[in-house]
Structure 1
């Protein structure tokens, strides 16, 4: 069986030395994890087939792919962004950048945007670069392309808006927060006519035309006696169903917000470090110790919890019909039942780390690996 591994999220902290610069600080004192128990033979309660695979070359850990308008947009080797057909995996177009991707990709199906390691926001469409601008500080989150604008969340907790056609900067909103931030993708999305962004432990609703604040909702509160202990940030991915937006605060909480009215539905303590995903009734995630958990979207009540994968290093999930997909650091993709977390089947890839969480691309469950493998499975 081919294997791959996830790089388990580490507490990579960023302290602002200046208003326009951030300094990464890695926390290296984490204790060794207990050895997980051996897994039983594969249950194989659901049939899958490998629909297609592709190779795009080695990719950075943060270069998370995105699906838009029937295309899977991926960053690969030679500083190249590619658009693949979600049905066949065939390349539609590619754009060569002059530096590796530093973030995931954002797209509305027409315009695609990414931030490079040179701290440049690059917009492209149909195989051509449209424009690029230099950003004032480092960026860890994928840009959001919506409403003919490109929005960026920077490492200094600024939100910037650019004209999607010209790259002209339209506005900048700076919000106060704790002096440390995670070097990990955060929350940036649109709900109706509101731009929703994670700032520290809060979800904040902004007016997309001028950046003015419409509402703020705390999901987790900062606590502790020093800056590291007080660190609280919202991490991607998230789960949205209509106006209900559910998110994880790193190693602190999971909560859901009515993002149209700016009202907290609920928040519950949780110790996970990767994002969540869900459907109309449940929100799924994994705790730092590998425990799988489902919360009821309406109330936050725990619907089920299982330690069958305890102490395994798991990715953020993808809710996909009657199953939920989690990746594991030893190269396995676990498909578990949405009803109770029992195993349905396991899948494997090329032996390297998954970049981001599993994705739904057309009718396929898709993952991208650090070595550049793209794998798409469909139910049988």
Structure 2
């Protein structure tokens, strides 16, 4: 089902975790904005394409591991999509790929963490004990797993033994999120429930700081959801995050001190470069704000209600994809649409990935594309 038609779908509390329901948030039920003509000023040129199997009911994001792109699908296939490594785990998976330091990690639907060497051999498996929807994150010889019970757990990269755990209380309702943590200089930046952003030392499991992106507002539990359901963006000692039904805020990545905040709500996500922070709001509008002071740079509304993904920034361009299987390229300077390409017709729920000069996009049908922008 297209993201903009999903609405808010409640899932059984007992099937997710005890005492807490998770929600899948989609855009408001409005007809998607029709695509209109534009003046092409660039083009998305195929570099490679691979298939890893459909996503099913989960969200699968690709990852860069040791300078190669890896991706996975719900049926358990893991591939180095630009050639080489390929593993059929034989187990259904619930989250995308994490990798680094010679390992690739995934999580199966039984809540088990599996780590593979780059020769395709299983190195170890560990029991998480709760459903995992976000891809594992690897740094500082640690595999970080964010589980549905609110725990952040670090596992030893070589043995799979549990090293540390940070426990977080869960509200009565929370958003279903497949967004992984973002690591910079061995610090993991993690969006959490109730509008919180955490900085966690990957080696020790110490919370270095915790900041509030947005405060809950409203009367009902639904109205008060301000979860951060997308990955933060880190650039130039600044980390930014955006909350559902809340705000977008940017902080000093070393101290957690607030730099600026704007009234933009999203469960889609954001990206940043040395010029701007780009965010897709809950209705599919895309904004650019000055990275240093939060001043408005531009706003693009021609893709509203199309189930637009979080943006990715590459050079002079910003790339998003939508629920009808189109990739769109916007100008970094003014937000104008400068290129478009149809993919396989299935939705793109996850944020495009940037590897060097290539944009990587994974669709719900399991096709993974690498494009250059010319």
Q: Same fold (TM over 0.5)?
A: yes
Indicate how the Cα distance of structure 1 residues 56 and 22 shifts in structure 2: closer, same or farther if over 3 A, else same.
Answer: farther
Indicate how the Cα distance of structure 1 residues 186 and 352 shifts in structure 2: closer, same or farther if over 3 A, else same.
Answer: closer
- Deviation, 1:122, is 0.8
Query: Quick check: 2:63–2:98 contact (8 Å CA) kept in 1?
Result: yes
1:1-380 matches, within 5 Å, as 7-8=3-4, 10-11=7-8, 21=18, 24=21, 26=23, 32-36=29-33, 38-60=34-56, 61-76=58-73, 78-85=75-82, 90=83, 92-126=84-118, 127-186=120-179, 188-200=181-193, 201-380=195-374
Please state whether the residue corresponding to 2:71 is helix, strand or coil: strand
- Deviation, 1:130, is 0.8
- Deviation, 1:14, is 6.7
Please state whether the residue corresponding to 1:235 is helix, strand or coil: coil
Query: Quick check: 2:141–2:203 contact (8 Å CA) kept in 1?
Result: no
Q: Which moved more, 1:300-309 or 1:314-323?
A: 300-309
Query: Quick check: 1:72–1:84 contact (8 Å CA) kept in 2?
Result: yes
Higher relative contact order (CA 8 A, sep 6+): 1
Please state whether the residue corresponding to 1:229 is helix, strand or coil: coil
- Deviation, 1:355, is 4.8
Indicate how the Cα distance of structure 1 residues 114 and 27 shifts in structure 2: closer, same or farther if over 3 A, else same.
Answer: closer
- Deviation, 1:168, is 0.5
Query: Quick check: 1:11–1:182 contact (8 Å CA) kept in 2?
Result: no
- Deviation, 1:213, is 2.8
Indicate how the Cα distance of structure 1 residues 325 and 261 shifts in structure 2: closer, same or farther if over 3 A, else same.
Answer: same
Please state whether the residue corresponding to 2:232 is helix, strand or coil: strand
Aligned length: 370
Query: Quick check: 2:298–2:335 contact (8 Å CA) kept in 1?
Result: yes
- Deviation, 1:164, is 0.5
Structure 2: state its 5+ residue gaps: none
- Deviation, 1:224, is 2.0
Give, in whole Å, the separation in 1 of the partners of 2:232 and 2:269.
6
Judging by fraction of residues, say which structure has more strand.
Answer: 1
- What is the root-mean-square deviation in Å for CA atoms of aligned residues? 2.6
- Deviation, 1:345, is 1.0
Give, in whole Å, the separation in 2 of the partners of 1:18 and 1:263.
38
- Deviation, 1:211, is 2.5
Structure 1: state its 5+ residue gaps: none
Query: Quick check: 2:325–2:345 contact (8 Å CA) kept in 1?
Result: yes
- Deviation, 1:226, is 2.2
Give, in whole Å, the separation in 2 of the partners of 1:21 and 1:133.
21
Query: Quick check: 1:13–1:24 contact (8 Å CA) kept in 2?
Result: yes
Give, in whole Å, the separation in 2 of the partners of 1:237 and 1:179.
22
Query: Quick check: 2:192–2:229 contact (8 Å CA) kept in 1?
Result: no
- TM-score normalised per structure 2: 0.90
Q: Deviations over 1:322-359 (max 9, x none)?
A: 11111122222110111111111101111112251222
Q: Deviations over 1:296-323 (max 9, x none)?
A: 1111222111322233321111111111
Query: Quick check: 2:359–2:372 contact (8 Å CA) kept in 1?
Result: yes
- Deviation, 1:18, is 11
Give, in whole Å, the separation in 1 of the partners of 2:325 and 2:259.
36
Give, in whole Å, the separation in 2 of the partners of 1:357 and 1:77.
18
Give, in whole Å, the separation in 2 of the partners of 1:43 and 1:261.
44
